[in-house]
Structure 1
Amino acid sequence: MNLKQLQQQIENNAMANIYVVAGEEETLLHQAKVMFQELIDQADREMNYSQIDLENQNIDVMIDDAMSVPFFGDRRVVVITNPLFLTATGKINDHEQELVLKILEQPLLKNIVVFFVNDLKLDKRKKVTKELLKVAEHVSLPALNERQAQQAIMQQLMQRNYLIEPSALNELTQRTNAQYTDMKNELIKLITYAAESKKITFDAVVDLVPKTLAANAFDLVDTVIKKKTQVALTLYHELLQNGEVPLRLNAVLTNQFRLLLQVAGLNGNDQDIGKQLNVHPYRVKLAKQALRNYPPQFVRTGYLGMIDIERRLKSTSQDPELLFERFIVENFQ
């Protein structure tokens, strides 16, 4: 189910006892947490609502809360984040597993236990994981695609009686790689900036919204392949000046060249390829558009060049900018 269907369950007072919430979109995950939290009145939350982070807290805390009856209330909600014991590397002893299985198989009727697995890779071979996935209601919150993210942003602006120029919306999308959570976070300062005019312009987005490293990497790869040598060197220098670590920057560039190679070898729509490669569909869309203008041998040369730079960065003390400049001069002049 999605958030809308979860809301319908809440309104119909038809809640399940066990939920699994999975997804990658931070904003949607937060909204789901708020919805579960608001099942308990503000005055009762101290006694009947708990949020347990199993990355920092012991599993015994979760077990105790999930097996405790509501304290002078209609229901108890227990939200669990980072349930690492459901993964291949997470540990759970036999006694703990027995108690968790009891919670899943014989839940207290007035308790709602919610496992936020987010994007964890669950080990479905584990008995406890199998049982959870079997008995729980599943809430799926995948990342919004480009169109959905833009529509959500426009809806929020309309509710505030704001407008946004089409070019500004496209630039916001590009600078955030169509990541809805990032778009929403950047919207706060854009709204403040446009408080008088109630209109968000292209220039405002350019001035106020920094590009993500992935967006900068896309631009840098584009300038390299198109043999805009000086532009590429300037951008690389600026990224280092802004605090980017050479190895990290090189890794992001390598990933961008790799993505181009992968997309070039695959057929299908942006959504399907994105799932297959575990990247946002917007990045697939940009890669497809770029590949129309990129000679295939240039993409392969760029990827191999990045691999070579990484090797040299790790094994020598050579200057990163000189290595990058030599890579461009030798391959893209």
Structure 2
Amino acid sequence: MMFDLWKQIKAGKFQSLYLLYGPESFLINETKQMLIHHVLNEEEIDFNLSSYDLEETPIDVALEDAETLPFMGERRLIILQNPVFLTAAKTKEKVEHNVAKLEAYIKEPSPYATLVFTAPYEKLDERKKITKELKRNAAVLEAKKLNEAELKGWIKERAAYNKVEITESAIDLLLTLAGTNLFTLTSELDKLALYVGQGERLDEKTVDMLVARSLEQNIFSLIDKIVQRQIEEALRIYYDLLKQNEEPIKILSIITGQFRLIYQVKELARRGYGQQQIAGHLKVHPFRIKLAAGQARQFSDEELANIMKQLANADYQMKTGGMNKVLLVELFLFRLSDHTYKK
């Protein structure tokens, strides 16, 4: 649905009403920018683009704007932010909205205006008449967190937007290194495309060479080395992090978070949950669940329980000054490598 909507916009097939809602702000903003640059020519933007915050401005004002003839162009584009009246939120609104007038407009929208509602809310109130009418008559984008397949499709689309191709193995490595945040992925993809040039292909080697490792990814790699019993590689990553002025207490905190995730994934999988269900239950991206599930297979329940105890003890000693902070993380890594976490 997302890609179909984008293709229609790029092809110049515009609707009178758009409803962009959901928690993934990047997708809402990207769709909004796409509409701005395709509905209006550059010289029309100053005259025919309006934006209203509906927490500050009554809907009547925006509707009057929509019914005004465009100046030096064929259409007006009106962005309507924060339509809280579409939700069940019990907030005291600063302004009064004439919802009945909006309902009438939705049934018969202006032929020379495009209204775009941007609603950064997890859910809309489907019981409300105005919500039903808008969803029935508007082009709708639910900007939810993308699953793995959708995320990979989005990466291909973004690469194509930059006029480059990207291989499947390069996509997998990019997700592993950069994570699933769309703002970060966009930055990395734009950088990679600039490096290889238009018409070229992004491969795994280029991604490995150019994509910056986040602290979380370095910790994930560190844990992966531990899983593979490669203690020297794990320590090298740890010492590199220290050279980058990362604090041992922060490193330990992220290690703890990853092992907690591994423990939770293993437990929920044992209870029969699928990876998508686990992702929803833990509110973690499915791709991270997939990676954690692979690591979870390397540990028994008892091993993971003991690792969590050791991490809790190390955290306590760090915060109470019981031992040198750098040494505490080193000792934890050594214990993992020689299987003393089993005891």
TM-score of the pair, normalised by structure 1: 0.74
Alpha carbons of structure 1 residues 115 and 256: separation in structure 2 relative to 1, 3 Å = farther
- Asked if structure 2 preserves the Cα contact closer than 8 Å seen for 1:145 and 1:280, the reply is yes
Alpha carbons of structure 1 residues 320 and 139: separation in structure 2 relative to 1, 3 Å = same
- Asked if structure 2 preserves the Cα contact closer than 8 Å seen for 1:145 and 1:178, the reply is no
Question: Which of these residues, 208, 213, 216, is aligned with residue 214 of structure 1?
Answer: 216
Alpha carbons of structure 1 residues 244 and 100: separation in structure 2 relative to 1, 3 Å = farther
State the one-letter code of the partner of 1:270. Q
Question: Which secondary structure state, in structure 2, belongs to the residue aligned with residue 78 of structure 1?
Answer: strand
User: Cα distance, 1:213 vs. partner?
Assistant: 2.9
- Structure 2 unaligned regions, length at least 5: 339-343
Question: Which secondary structure state, in structure 2, belongs to the residue aligned with residue 327 of structure 1?
Answer: helix
Which residue number in structure 2 is paired with residue 136 of structure 1?
A: 134
- Asked if structure 1 preserves the Cα contact closer than 8 Å seen for 2:263 and 2:296, the reply is no
Distance 2:125 2:306 in 1: 40
Distance 1:269 1:152 in 2: 23
Distance 1:322 1:82 in 2: 50
Question: Which of these residues, 248, 262, 271, is aligned with residue 276 of structure 2?
Answer: 271
Which residue number in structure 2 is paired with residue 31 of structure 1?
A: 30
User: Cα distance, 1:174 vs. partner?
Assistant: 1.7
Question: Which of these residues, 115, 118, 137, is aligned with residue 116 of structure 1?
Answer: 118
- Asked if structure 1 preserves the Cα contact closer than 8 Å seen for 2:158 and 2:189, the reply is no
Task: Using the TM superposition, name which of 145-154 and 259-268 deviates more.
Answer: 145-154
- Asked if structure 2 preserves the Cα contact closer than 8 Å seen for 1:80 and 1:116, the reply is yes
1:328 paired to 2:324: no
Which residue number in structure 2 is paired with residue 303 of structure 1?
A: 308
- Structure 1 unaligned regions, length at least 5: none
- Asked if structure 1 preserves the Cα contact closer than 8 Å seen for 2:248 and 2:329, the reply is no
State the one-letter code of the partner of 1:78. I
Aligned residues: 321
Which residue number in structure 2 is paired with residue 15 of structure 1?
A: 16
Distance 1:80 1:240 in 2: 47
RMSD: 4.1
Which residue number in structure 2 is paired with residue 242 of structure 1?
A: 244
Residues 233-282 of structure 1, C-alpha deviation per residue, up to 9 Å, x if partnerless? 33223223324344543333222112212211233443333233222221
- Asked if structure 2 preserves the Cα contact closer than 8 Å seen for 1:257 and 1:303, the reply is yes
User: Cα distance, 1:198 vs. partner?
Assistant: 3.4
User: Cα distance, 1:315 vs. partner?
Assistant: 4.8
Distance 1:277 1:194 in 2: 38
1:72 paired to 2:69: yes
Distance 1:229 1:278 in 2: 31
Question: Which secondary structure state, in structure 2, belongs to the residue aligned with residue 136 of structure 1?
Answer: helix
User: Cα distance, 1:209 vs. partner?
Assistant: 0.7
Task: Using the TM superposition, name which of 219-228 and 81-90 deviates more.
Answer: 81-90
Distance 1:143 1:307 in 2: 31
Residues 171-191 of structure 1, C-alpha deviation per residue, up to 9 Å, x if partnerless? 223212355554443233333
Question: Which secondary structure state, in structure 1, belongs to the residue aligned with residue 97 of structure 2?
Answer: helix
- Asked if structure 2 preserves the Cα contact closer than 8 Å seen for 1:29 and 1:141, the reply is yes
Give the alignment of 1:1-333 within 5 angstroms.
2-5=2-5, 8=8, 14-16=15-17, 19-24=19-24, 26=26, 28-37=27-36, 38-52=38-52, 59-61=55-57, 63=59, 65-70=61-66, 71-73=68-70, 76-81=76-81, 91-93=91-93, 96=95, 98-99=96-97, 101=99, 104-107=102-105, 109-110=109-110, 112-118=114-120, 120-121=121-122, 130=128, 133-137=131-135, 138-154=140-156, 164=166, 167-177=169-179, 179=181, 182-195=184-197, 198-264=200-266, 265-266=268-269, 267-316=272-321, 319-330=324-335, 332-333=337-338
Alpha carbons of structure 1 residues 144 and 99: separation in structure 2 relative to 1, 3 Å = closer
State the one-letter code of the partner of 1:2. M
Alpha carbons of structure 1 residues 165 and 12: separation in structure 2 relative to 1, 3 Å = closer
User: Cα distance, 1:151 vs. partner?
Assistant: 4.5
Identical counterparts, % of pairs:
24
Distance 1:88 1:320 in 2: 48
Distance 1:314 1:159 in 2: 48
Distance 1:89 1:315 in 2: 43
Alpha carbons of structure 1 residues 5 and 239: separation in structure 2 relative to 1, 3 Å = same
Residues 288-333 of structure 1, C-alpha deviation per residue, up to 9 Å, x if partnerless? 2222222332322333333444444445486432221233345653
Alpha carbons of structure 1 residues 237 and 32: separation in structure 2 relative to 1, 3 Å = same
State the one-letter code of the partner of 2:276. Q
Alpha carbons of structure 1 residues 168 and 270: separation in structure 2 relative to 1, 3 Å = same
Distance 2:119 2:240 in 1: 38
- Asked if structure 1 preserves the Cα contact closer than 8 Å seen for 2:48 and 2:75, the reply is yes
Distance 2:315 2:327 in 1: 13
Task: Using the TM superposition, name which of 156-165 and 258-267 deviates more.
Answer: 156-165
State the one-letter code of the partner of 2:300. P
